[in-house]
Amino acid sequence: MSEKNINRRDFLKLAGTAAAVTAVSASGCGDAVKTGSIANTTTSVSQNIPTDKMTYRTNPKTGEKVSILGYGFMRLPTVTNVSARESNDDIDQETVNRLTDYALEHGLNLFDTSPAYCKGFSEHAMGIALSRHPRDKYYISTKLSTFSPQQWTYETSVGMYKNSLKELQTDHIDYLHLHGIGMTAFVDGKQLDGVESLHKRYIDNGVLDFLLKEREAGRIRNLGFSYHGDVKAFDYLVDHHDQYHWDFAMIQMNYVDWRYAKQINPGNTNAEYLYNRLTEKGIPVFVMEPILGGRLAKLPTHLQETLRTRRPESSVASWSFRWIATHPNILTILSGMTYMEHLQDNLSTLCPLDPCTDEEDAILQRVADEFVKFPLVPCTACQYCMPCPYGVDIPTTFTHYNKCVNEGYISVSTQDANFVEARRRFLIGYDRVVEPKRQAAHCIGCGVCQPHCPQNIRIPDKLRDINDYMEKLKQETL
Amino acid sequence: MLKKLRTIIGTIFLVCITAMFLDFTGTLHCWLSWMTDLQFLPAVLGLNLAAILIVLALTLLFGRVYCSMICPAGTYQDAVSHVAAKVKKNRFAFLPENKILRFAVLAVFAILLLVGLNGIALLIAPYSAYGRIVQNLLQPIYIGVNNLLAKAAEHYDSYAFYEKEVWIKSLPVFIVAIVTLITFTVLAWRGGRTWCNNICPIGTVLGYLSKLSLFKIRIDASKCINCRLCEKNCKASCIDIDHHTVDYTRCVSCMDCIGKCKKDAISYTTSKSSQSTSSDSPNASLRAMLTTTAALAATSALHAQDKTTDGGLAVIEDKKIPEREIPVKPAGSLSVSSFSNKCTGCQLCVAACPNGVLRPSTKLSTFMQPEMGFEHGYCRPECTKCGEVCPAGAINPITREEKTAIRAGHAVWVKDNCLPQTDGVSCGNCAQHCPSGAITMVPLPDNPKVKIPSIDTERCLGCGACEHLCPVRPFSAIYVEGNLVHGNM
């Protein structure tokens, strides 16, 4: 395997991790407008956000007050107005500065980044934006993102950490994560599971010992880890809490991942388990993916209606933030906010927090039950599965499917009220974006794509499911 | 008044039948299929007694009104002649009937049909010829416009229009359509109903029948001043003013002459006193027609154009048509022979097939009659369009349920092409997508790790899903052979 390939694979993982940290959807502002029409009022949520009502949580170790909303610097705006994740363009530093200032003004005080984010430019941008403010007004969270086996040496890892300090223009990190605990790797022809990778990345090479010493020296104020993937690695670190004394841990959590993590992504673990284990051990929780990469902001129409009927003036996304924040052991919820509307919507949700009632919790559990019936394919359209040797256009197929799910055009039965429209939209829309000879029916299940998917999507199975669904649409036998 | 009525009815038939050939969504035929059902040759070949009786009754009552109103080729030629008349007034004169030619063509036509060489005979069948013209020449333009609208709709996130692939389904038939169109147009421009009164076998049959018709064009010699205005404007060249007679075998009851006569000497009535004349004179257009069509039939086949693929995706080679011993005919056609006896090659089913399966045959004996091919799609289980539209009864209407039991063909495995054999990749896409579950993946006897498709021909319907979805290109590792007689499960 060429070096290039290894790098590519590593980059995939990075992209996968990146996908895990989340953003509020662009619908934030639009929600407010639509809400207005339902509620028969036209109050704009974003205009009246108080600057002194942010909800804070206390770090049990340091006693510091951390804002419940943290700013994720993974989807920074670029000069072409697209999130840096989807574009190769330069980061729009001016806008980043403006967003940072606005966040600080409204009491947000935790900023999260990684050496891997935004093609490696995220820390630099954060350094510029934050160094314009007094260092004691905010907390910096970054990670040791050694994804590639080539970076698993002591020197490279420590070098990455030191470079973070430099890019962030600071002499200490408030929260440092071991990044992507639970990810598996393929080294020297051998598949490593989450625990083996963990050992190779941080333990065997002495990097973790170095970090522990840095914590003693005060250059790392809090040491923790962010987890996704193999749950054995999570359990290993939690089991060794007495040895390492984790100050925090980051997990993927929202009302769907609470009990349906496997339905969202078979490689994931229910947040209920993760949260409860961390709480038992007294480890404060960072949350990523509060709205599943935007999917919980764009629920199928009938689910949106359920939530809007209950709180006509709240965005759909706000429900997830409120639900998460209602859990007492949450230290902060990271959200990758590309646009001001994202930031404003989230601030208005959490300044201050109006906790979820038991009844609302029950509603959200029902929404989650329904949501997993229309499972989206967790495809980020990174294109690494391509080209399929048999010409199938995999990412576009998934994108089209997800679009139909999000817009409420997936039918359960021919008796559905919108069956005819949904059928037209799915079939005509699919022909528009993917020419027939590249559609799902042409997947022979060879599995060449499978190892390339950073989301571990079982691509052939998914394509088969989508084709079966199409067959039912065409034959009207749903 | 009568002329107006004729024009209106003729136009309605022409427009509606044209629309049916353009419509690829299969919605119009529900309302309009009676119009194609009335077409005489399909009705005769399909033994549609009701339609035959209606046409015969119409002819016995009113003369060749079929040719003036119901036949789309006739109305098309009238339209051309009408335009020509604006350019050159009073351009016709009486011509004696070319009886030998008419009966010779009719005889050859009948013999060809009897011996089963329908493909050649159908070249001169008027309705089918018109259908071919519209399907081959006009439908691509129609779909092109539709595709532009679809693009616009896509832009506005509307799903009112959807795109449809345009491809030449058979080059020889495409060329036949062009030549037929030119022939129709030139003959009509120069001589009005030259085609209908010299070549068209339907015209000959109905012409001689209309001699007995109740209503006829009649000239009152006592009123006639021999101004010849009627004769000069008779597109059938059948009015002989010297003798004050009309050749009823050629008169298509267009009623043009009634209006032209300043003296009210011409009427369309039931009263007696009429006779017909006929004389012989060779006709150049005939020779032209025969030579062109013969040349066409000999033209070699060409495959559909290749489409280039986009950059980010693996290149997909276009599928090629495998050599089939027996052509696959659509479910509902009972058998290959029954189909070729009844089909008039009008291309209505080809125009209606939403899956790009039906296309005209290029074989001499079945020339222009549709057959199935699976490079663009396969015969989907829920589709029964071809049977719904066929006016000739060549493809009988069947229900979706009936279709699941009709064995129109059977799949044949080509060992040397099969992917697990050649590339060592596990596949099974044919088995995966077989609508009737006729394919099972079984281990290869001498290498159990390799799984290959095994076909239960008793369950196979010949739909072509396996052939279409087989990843091997250009020739699939599994293809469909037609069944001579369509079995029932």
Three-state SS annotation for B252-296: CCCCHHHHHCCCCCEEEECCCCCCCCCCCCCCHHHHHHHHHHHHH
For chain B, percent of residues with pLDDT exceeding 90: 57
Question: How many residues are listed for chain A in this entry?
Answer: 478
Cα distances (angstroms) measured from residue A154 to each of A142, A158, A201, A207: 18, 6, 9, 6
Q: Which of A155, A64, A78, A76 is nearest to A110 (CA)?
A: A64
Residue range B310-337: mean pLDDT, rounded = 83
What's the pLDDT band for B272 if we cut at 50, 70, 90?
Answer: low
CB neighbour list of residue B248: distance below 8 Å, 6 or more residues apart: B63, B207, B210, B211, B213, B216, B217, B238, B274, B276
More confident residue, B158 or B357: B357
CA dihedral A452, A457, A458, A461 (to 10 degrees): -130
H helix intervals, B116-267: 118-121, 126-133, 139-155, 171-191, 194-198, 201-210, 229-232, 256-260
The letter for the amino acid at B49 is L
Say yes or no to pLDDT of A435 above 70. yes
Say yes or no to pLDDT of A34 above 60. no
What tokens appear for A81 in the block? 């107005």
Identify the residue whose tokens are 């020296």. Answer: A217
What tokens appear for B461 in the block? 């319907």
How confident is the model at residue A7, as a pLDDT?
Answer: 47
For chain A, the average pLDDT equals 85
Among candidates A424, A432, A445 on the partner chain, residue whose Cβ is nearest the Cβ of B154: A432
What tokens appear for B49 in the block? 């007694």
Mark which residues 345-384 of A lie under 8 Å from B by CB.
383
B313 and A CB contact within 8 Å: yes
Residue range B157-164: mean pLDDT, rounded = 86
How confident is the model at residue B286, as a pLDDT?
Answer: 38
B416 and A CB contact within 8 Å: no
Q: Which of B157, B134, B172 is nearest to B24 (CA)?
A: B134
How confident is the model at residue B372, as a pLDDT?
Answer: 95
Residue B319 exposure: Cα atoms within 13 Å on the Cβ side = 23
B425/A444 touch (CB, cutoff 8 Å), yes or no:
yes
How confident is the model at residue A292, as a pLDDT?
Answer: 84
How confident is the model at residue B26, as a pLDDT?
Answer: 75
Chain B positions touching A429 (Cβ under 8 A) are 159
CA distance B205 to B106: 8
For chain B, percent of residues with pLDDT exceeding 70: 91
Considering only A246-255, A285-294, A445-454, B221-230, which range has the smallest mean pLDDT? A445-454
How confident is the model at residue B310, as a pLDDT?
Answer: 25
Residue range B220-225: mean pLDDT, rounded = 89
Say yes or no to pLDDT of B117 above 90. no
How confident is the model at residue A448, as a pLDDT?
Answer: 82
Considering only A292-296, B33-37, B196-200, which range has the smallest mean pLDDT? A292-296
Among candidates A421, A442, A446 on the partner chain, residue whose Cβ is nearest the Cβ of B469: A442
Say yes or no to pLDDT of A36 above 50. no
Query: What is residue B66's DSSP assignment?
Result: I
CB B394 within 8 A of CB B333: yes
Q: Which of A332, A255, A6, A53 is nearest to A150 (CA)?
A: A6
How confident is the model at residue A28, as a pLDDT?
Answer: 35
CB neighbour list of residue B186: distance below 8 Å, 6 or more residues apart: none
CB B449 within 8 A of CB B369: no
Domain ranges of chain A: 13-371, 394-475
For chain A, percent of residues with pLDDT exceeding 70: 88
CB neighbour list of residue B97: distance below 8 Å, 6 or more residues apart: B197, B238, B247, B249, B250, B277, B278, B279, B280
Residue range A373-400: mean pLDDT, rounded = 83
pLDDT, one tens digit per residue, over B372-418 is: 999 999 999 999 999 999 988 899 999 999 999 999 999 999 988 99
Chain B positions touching A472 (Cβ under 8 A) are none
Mark which residues 123-162 of B lie under 8 Å from A by CB.
150, 154, 159, 162
Residue range B211-223: mean pLDDT, rounded = 90
Structural domains in chain B, sorted by start: 2-131+176-269 (no CATH), 303-488 (3.30.70.20)
Cα Rg, chain A, nearest whole Å: 22
Chain B positions touching A399 (Cβ under 8 A) are none
Q: Which of A55, A61, A57, A56 is nearest to A282 (CA)?
A: A61
Helix and strand element counts for chain B (H, E): 23, 10
B469/A421 touch (CB, cutoff 8 Å), yes or no:
no
Return left, alpha or beta for A107; rule: phi > 0 is left, psi -120 to 50 is alpha, else beta.
left
Say yes or no to pLDDT of A26 above 50. no
Chain B positions touching A425 (Cβ under 8 A) are 159
Considering only B49-58, B113-122, B207-216, B292-301, which range has the smallest mean pLDDT? B292-301
CA distance A19 to A116: 12
How confident is the model at residue B277, as a pLDDT?
Answer: 37
What's the pLDDT band for A81 if we cut at 50, 70, 90?
Answer: low
The letter for the amino acid at B152 is A
Say yes or no to pLDDT of A364 above 50. yes
Long-range CB contacts (< 8 A, 24+ apart) of A275-280?
Answer: A275/A251, A275/A327, A275/A329, A277/A234, A277/A235, A277/A238, A278/A238, A278/A249, A278/A251, A278/A329, A279/A329
In chain B, what is the greatest distance between 2 CA atoms, to the nearest angstrom? 97
Omega before residue B474 within 30° of 0, cis: yes
CA distance B237 to B254: 12
Pairing, β A173-181 against β A330-335? unpaired
CA distance B353 to B357: 7
What tokens appear for A382 in the block? 């990174």
In chain A, what is the greatest distance between 2 CA atoms, to the nearest angstrom? 68
Provide the shortest C-alpha distance from residue A382 to chain B (in Å). Answer: 13
Say yes or no to pLDDT of B68 above 60. yes
What's the pLDDT band for B199 if we cut at 50, 70, 90?
Answer: very high
pLDDT, one tens digit per residue, over B76-89 is: 999 999 999 999 98
Say yes or no to pLDDT of A32 above 70. no
More confident residue, B444 or A199: A199
Residue range B231-247: mean pLDDT, rounded = 92
CB neighbour list of residue A45: distance below 8 Å, 6 or more residues apart: A32, A35, A313, A314, A315, A344, A345, A348
B354 and A CB contact within 8 Å: no
Chain B positions touching A387 (Cβ under 8 A) are 312-314
Best mean pLDDT range from A21-30, A331-340, B21-30: A331-340
More confident residue, B438 or B365: B438
Pairing, β A65-67 against β A56-58? antiparallel
Helix and strand element counts for chain A (H, E): 18, 12
Chain B positions touching A424 (Cβ under 8 A) are 159, 162
How confident is the model at residue B137, as a pLDDT?
Answer: 93
Cα Rg, chain B, nearest whole Å: 26
Residue range A410-432: mean pLDDT, rounded = 86
How confident is the model at residue B301, as a pLDDT?
Answer: 26
What tokens appear for A411 in the block? 């039918």
How confident is the model at residue A444, as a pLDDT?
Answer: 92
Query: What is residue B450's DSSP assignment?
Result: E
For chain B, the average pLDDT equals 86
3-state helix, strand, coil in chain B (%, to 5): 45, 10, 45
How confident is the model at residue A418, as a pLDDT?
Answer: 83
What's the pLDDT band for A426 if we cut at 50, 70, 90?
Answer: very high
More confident residue, B271 or B266: B266
A444/B471 touch (CB, cutoff 8 Å), yes or no:
yes
Residue range A21-41: mean pLDDT, rounded = 35
Considering only A400-409, A469-478, B2-11, which range has the smallest mean pLDDT? A400-409
Q: Which helix (H) or strand (E) holds B239?
A: strand B239-240
**Domain A13-371 sits in CATH 3.20.20.100:** yes
Residue range B30-50: mean pLDDT, rounded = 88
Omega before residue B397 within 30° of 0, cis: no
CB B57 within 8 A of CB B111: no
What's the pLDDT band for B293 if we cut at 50, 70, 90?
Answer: very low
B317 and A CB contact within 8 Å: no
- Beta-carbon count within 10 A of B445 CB: 8
Among candidates B154, B313, B427 on the partner chain, residue whose Cβ is nearest the Cβ of A393: B313
A432/B419 touch (CB, cutoff 8 Å), yes or no:
no
Q: Which of A358, A356, A334 is nearest to A346 (CA)?
A: A334
What tokens appear for B28 in the block? 């119009």
Say yes or no to pLDDT of A13 above 70. no
B159/A424 touch (CB, cutoff 8 Å), yes or no:
yes
Q: Which phi and psi (to 5°) does residue A225 adopt?
A: -145, 155
How confident is the model at residue A16, as a pLDDT?
Answer: 41
Identify the residue whose tokens are 């001579």. Answer: B484
Among candidates B159, B314, B471 on the partner chain, residue whose Cβ is nearest the Cβ of A387: B314
pLDDT, one tens digit per residue, over A229-243 is: 889 999 999 999 999
